[in-house]
């Protein structure tokens, strides 16, 4: 070890407080923590994708513009290919937006929401400013506009439908923000295939709108990392300056095209996930001491009177992994992804047992 080298002296001071996003794996547990598609990947699509892994697709660099995939996405979304940029998951696109526009400025985040907006804002050297949602988790448009109109506000993030609360903003709310601010408004629609208001019709009217979408949720490609954004071509031209040229590998580009070509098969799964979601919601309503929140997505936010840490840990001991929330914004809250019918049954039974055990042991509610 060198006497003169100390890595702590070199790290950017604004990263000192940043806690890295950890995604722990618990082998054997039922995974209801990451809002993925719980079904087996359709075999015929898997075979078609598997057959692609050969020849120039492997030996040559990928198409840096993802031309064919962007064309397929444009057709799916009813926009032009010039309004589409593909990324290594929408996570990469969030960072690219912030590196292009956010550094040194303010970024407004409608909390509680997806944690990566804040993390990527910090990585990009932007200042994340929370603009709290109302108690029903709708966005507070006047408050948001007044935060947004302060100097140096560059980007506003609105997740709709919102993770982890499960509600969608209306088109009127989004439009009202778009026409009152001069910053970029990113509407993250990662869960749109499950429900909520589609913002695509606003794209041609508002050049400050960026829509984020992903193949990781309804289209079951979380492992291959394919996300995309829809925006005005001028906005995308600026973001291209920071995009890694070969950000999306050839295999993932091709796999996403195969998925879109066969999307009928996923539409069946999406219908079943929505049916299961409504059933889990009704079951949660019936468990004593549980308050679930209505959801248009493939996950449900709920609250108990116990600490979310305790519920999370007890469920994990019973082999069910969900997401614990908590903190001052969501005290006692947890989020569960919708799984297969069998997984959902295991979860609701385990939660019932955990709560009964806590009550019987006289453990104090919070």
| Residues lying near ligand PMP in the complex (CB under 6 A) | 35, 89-91, 114, 159, 163, 188, 190, 214, 216, 222, 227
Nearer to ligand PMP by Cβ, of 189 and 283: the residue is 189
Q: C-beta of 116: minimal distance to ligand PMP in Å?
A: 7
Spell out where 92-216 has E strands.
106-109, 127-130, 153-159, 184-188, 209-214
The neighbour count for residue 325, using CB atoms within 10 Å, is: 21
Task: Give the E-state strand segments of 199-270 in sequence order.
Answer: 209-214, 227-231
How far is it, in rounded angstroms, from Cα 311 to Cα 298?
21
| Burial (CB count <10 Å: 0-12, 13-18, 19+), residue 129 | middle
Closest to ligand PMP by CB, 36 vs 175, is 36
CB 2 to ligand PMP: min, Å: 38
Closer Cβ to ligand PMP, 110 or 307, answer by number = 110
Tokens of 339: 């799984």
Q: How far is the CB of 221 from ligand PMP (least distance, A)?
A: 8
Nearest distance, CB of residue 1 and ligand PMP, angstroms: 37
Please state, in angstroms and rounded to a whole number, the distance separating the CA atoms of residues 256 and 87.
12
Residues 6 or more apart in contact with residue 208 via CB below 8 angstroms: 178, 181, 182, 183, 184, 185, 235
Q: Of 41, 38, 25, 24, which is closest to residue 347 (Cα–Cα)?
A: 38
Please state, in angstroms and as integers, the Cα–Cα distance from residue 312 to each residue in 209, 308, 333, 335, 355, following that order: 37, 6, 10, 10, 11
Whose tokens are 């109302």? That residue is: 134
Rounded distance between C-alpha atoms, residue 23 and residue 82, angstroms: 34
Q: Which is nearer to ligand PMP, 168 or 348 (CB)?
A: 168
Q: How far apart are CA 82 and CA 236, in angstroms?
A: 8
Q: How far is CA 62 from CA 65, 216, 238, 246, in A?
A: 9, 20, 21, 6
At a CB cut-off of 8 Å and minimum separation 6, what does 136 contact?
A: 167
Residue nearest to ligand PMP (CB): 89
Question: Rounded to the nearest whole angstrom, what is the least distance from the CB of residue 16 to ligand PMP in the complex?
Answer: 25
Which of 84, 350 has the CB closer to ligand PMP?
A: 84
Q: Is the dihedral of CA 270, 273, 278, 279 positive or negative?
A: positive
**Shortest Å distance, C-beta 91 to ligand PMP:** 4
Min separation Cβ 52 and ligand PMP, Å: 21
CB of 135 to ligand PMP, least distance (A): 21
* Matching residue, tokens 């990113």: 186
* In the complex, least distance from residue 89 CB atom to ligand PMP, rounded to whole angstroms: 3
**Residue among 100 and 216 whose Cβ is closer to ligand PMP:** 216
Q: Which is nearer to ligand PMP, 257 or 306 (CB)?
A: 257
The nearest distance, CB 98 to ligand PMP, in angstroms, is 13
By beta-carbon proximity to ligand PMP, the closer residue of 189 and 348 is 189
101 vs 194, which CB is nearer to ligand PMP? 194
Q: Which residue number, 188 or 193, has a Cβ lying nearer to ligand PMP?
A: 188
């Amino acid at each position: 070890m060198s006497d003169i080298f100390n890595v702590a002296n070199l790290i950017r001071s604004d990263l000192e407080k940043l806690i890295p996003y950890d995604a722990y794996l618990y082998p054997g547990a039922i995974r209801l923590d990451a809002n993925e598609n719980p079904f087996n990947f359709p075999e015929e699509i898997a075979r078609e994708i598997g057959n692609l892994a050969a020849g120039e697709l492997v030996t040559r660099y990928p198409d840096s513009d993802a031309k064919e995939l962007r064309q397929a996405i444009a057709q799916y979304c009813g926009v032009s290919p010039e309004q589409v940029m593909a990324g290594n998951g929408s996570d990469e696109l969030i960072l690219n937006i912030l590196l292009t526009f956010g550094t040194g400025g303010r970024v407004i985040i409608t909390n509680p929401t997806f944690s990566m907006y804040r993390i990527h804002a910090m990585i990009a050297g932007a200042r994340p400013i929370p603009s709290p949602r109302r108690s029903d988790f709708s966005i507070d448009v006047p408050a948001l506009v007044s935060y947004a109109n302060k100097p140096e506000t560059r980007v506003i993030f609105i997740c709709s439908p919102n993770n982890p609360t499960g509600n969608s903003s209306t088109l009127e709310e989004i439009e009202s923000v778009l026409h009152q601010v001069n910053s970029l408004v990113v509407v993250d629609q990662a869960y749109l295939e499950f429900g909520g208001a589609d913002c695509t019709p606003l794209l041609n009217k508002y050049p400050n709108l960026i829509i984020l979408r992903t193949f990781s949720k309804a289209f079951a490609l979380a492992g291959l990392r394919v996300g995309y954004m829809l925006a005005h071509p001028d906005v995308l031209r600026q973001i291209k300056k920071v995009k890694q040229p070969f950000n999306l590998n050839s295999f993932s580009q091709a796999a996403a095209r195969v998925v879109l070509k066969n999307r009928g098969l996923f539409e069946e799964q999406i219908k079943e996930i929505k049916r299961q979601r409504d059933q889990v919601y009704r079951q949660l309503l019936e468990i004593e001491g549980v308050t679930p929140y209505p959801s248009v997505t493939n996950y449900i936010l709920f609250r108990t009177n116990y600490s979310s840490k305790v519920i999370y840990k007890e469920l994990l001991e019973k082999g069910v992994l969900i997401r614990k929330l908590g903190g001052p914004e969501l005290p006692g809250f947890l989020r569960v992804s919708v799984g297969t019918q069998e997984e959902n049954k295991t979860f609701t039974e385990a939660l019932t047992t955990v709560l009964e055990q806590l009550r019987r042991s006289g453990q104090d509610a919070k």
